[in-house]
Structure formats: structure tokens, C-alpha cells
Amino acid sequence: MARERPRRPAPWIASPARLRSLARAWRARGERVAFVPTMGYLHDGHLSLVERAARSADRVILSVFVNPLQFEARADLASYPRDLAHDRRLLRGVRVDAVFAPRAATFYAPGHATRVTVAGVGERLEGAFRPGHFAGVATVVTKLLHVVEPDQLWLGQKDAQQVAVLRRMVLDLDFAVDVHVGPTVREADGLAMSSRNARLTARERAQAPVLYVALQAGRASLAARGSAPLARRALAAERAMRAAVACAPLARLDYARLVDPGTFDAPAPGARKGLLVVAARFPSARLIDNLQVPLGSAR
Ligand code: PAF
């Protein structure tokens, strides 16, 4: 059981060495440390991860670091929403023991040249649409895990392919950390919470729930063709998702697919669980979403 602690503002720490020695001191006392990596501009999705982490560990460390390595376009990095005062305010309402906020100029040593790449799952869909993105994510998460040395790594289901890439990396590289995944938190109209939503104009925001509508159309299509071969059901579901996104004039579809949640390849015949994934570009932001679906006794 996680112990109750009074809520006082968590210290914000920029130095990797300071953060590491604080986390090591907690672990030396037998306290389990949970880690929630973020790029800031926090929302209820992040807070729900923090709350879950706080229930399952003794200490929670959250990082706020807009990682330049995972942005393929400079403009995307420059316009990524940032508001540390807003983040500090939101964190007052949850149990966080330390915030690690390294500085980009010093977190990456001058001349840094190492990348962690995850083949296969890291190359499909988001990996193909955003070349270099997952290498940037895997590299920064490797660095963060080396600094924090947590018992638990907490990730959001909203970024399902990131979860699959990092699970693969943790397994392949023997990180001594358990990966935990919190469910997607949605706005009342179904839009998955994301820091990028802040960039949407009012018209784009009104059309953005179309991603969730598309996922539900995909799920309904799969359910309606329960006895058909899986490949045929997948095609019909993908068609249904594409048709739904086409109803939003400001959305340009990148992909709408049924995949295996671990590999992001097509689910094998006989698979019992699948993941519907969708990505669409609005003029001001690119959005992604996903929905776990049972495949029943799919052939
Ligand atoms: O999901 C995010 O916010 C980022 O990709 C992460 C995991 C914090 C790495 O920069």
C-alpha cells in the first residue's frame, strides 16, 4: 500500500546527478519509485497516470522535458505548447515527490551521437510517417531511465505505438523496470486528451472528435462481421474508419488500421485482441488515437 503523504509542492530538479541521488536514497530505504515521463503542458491524462502511479508505488517522479530529438521538424518543436506555471499549478493537486526538468542544452552532452532504435514496431505507421521520431523517444527514455532508475515506468495508452516501442526496448535491453499503462483520458465529446489539442483552432477542435467516431465505427464494423475471416473484417473496419474521417473536412487521414497491439503489424489469424489505430492531420496539429478491440475467435 502506498503511504499517505501531505501534499506540498514537489521540488523541481534540473540536475541529473541530484535527481539520481534523491531517487537512490528513496530506493535504499526500500521505497518503490514510479516514473511518469512527460513533455509538460500537462492535462488530466497525465494527472490520471500520476494518480495511478501514486497508488502503486511509494514515490512518484515526473519528468518535464520537451525532447528535441523526437521532433522531425524544427517548426513542430518550436510550436510545441509549453507553460511551466500551468504545469506547477496542476501538479499541486496530485501526489508527486519530485519533478525532473533537465535543460536541453545540458541533458544532451555536446556532440551527442548515440541513438536507440527499435526495429519492426518502431518502423511501422507512426515510425514511417515521422522518421526518427521513435529513435528520439527511445533515446530520451533510455537516458531518463538511467537517471531515475525507477521500479515502474508509467505510460499512457493514448500513445499506443510508443508503449509498444518502449516495451520492446525495455525487454530487449534488460531495463529493470516494470512498464505500466494507464487508459486514455477523453474529453466529454470523445477527443483523446493531448497537449497538442491546445494548438487546434475552434473549427478544428469541433471536428477533432472524428478520430474517436472513426474508431467506434471500426469497432462496430468488426463486431458486425464476427464470423468472417479476419483479413476481410480488418479491411471492412478500415474502410469504415476512413469513411468516418472523410466526414470532417479539415482532417486529412494518414492511416486507419487494425493492428496487433504488440507489433503494429496486421494481427495474425486467430488473434484474440486487436488495436484500431488512426492518425489524421488538421491544419494546426496532427492527432492520433486508438481503441483496443476483441477479435473473438477470428480466423
Ligand atoms: O509521450 C511523451 O510525452 C514523450 O514521447 C515522452 C515519453 C515523454 C518522451 O519524450
**Residues 6 or more apart whose Cβ sits within 8 Å of residue 234:** 222, 257, 258, 266, 267, 274
Report, as an integer, the average pLDDT of 79-98: 96
Condensed to tens digits (0 to 9), the pLDDT of residues 260-284 reads: 999 999 999 999 999 999 999 999 9
Q: Treating both helix axes as pointing N-terminal to C-terminal, what angle do 133-148 and 16-28 enclose, rounded to 10 degrees? A: 50
In whole angstroms, give the CA distance from residue 85 to residue 285. Answer: 23
Tell me, in angstroms, the distance from the centre of ligand 1 to residue 39's CA. Answer: 6
Q: What is the mean pLDDT of the chain?
A: 96
Q: Quick check: is 133 catalytic?
A: no
Is it the case that residue 69 has pLDDT exceeding 90? yes
b/e map of 125-143 (b: 16 or more CB within 10 Å)?
bbbeebeebbbbbbbbbbb
Assess whether pLDDT exceeds 50 at residue 1. Answer: no
Burial environment of residue 275 by CB neighbours within 10 A (0 to 12, 13 to 18, 19 or more): buried
pLDDT in tens, 225-260: 988 999 999 999 999 999 999 999 999 999 999 999
pLDDT digits (tens, 9 = 90+) for 97-109: 999 999 988 999 9
The reply to whether the predicted model has a pTM over 0.85 is: yes
SS3 147: helix
CA of 239 to the centre of ligand 1 (A): 31
**Residue 137 near ligand 1, beta carbon < 6 Å:** yes
Among residues 13, 8, 9, 18, the alpha carbon closest in space to that of 99 is found at 13
Mean pLDDT of 187-198: 97
Give residue 297's pLDDT: 60
Report the C-alpha gap between 180 and 127 in whole angstroms. 22
Distances (CA, A) of 139 to 68, 146, 198, 263: 11, 11, 26, 19
Q: Which of 46, 86, 112, 146 is catalytic?
A: 46
Distance of CA 93 to the CA centre of its chain: 22
Work out the pLDDT band at 179, boundaries 50, 70, 90: very high
How close is the Cα of 38 to the center of ligand 1, in Å? 5
Question: 83 with 30: CB under 8 angstroms?
Answer: no
Q: What number is the average pLDDT over the span 83-95?
A: 96
Residue 115 pLDDT exceeds 60: yes
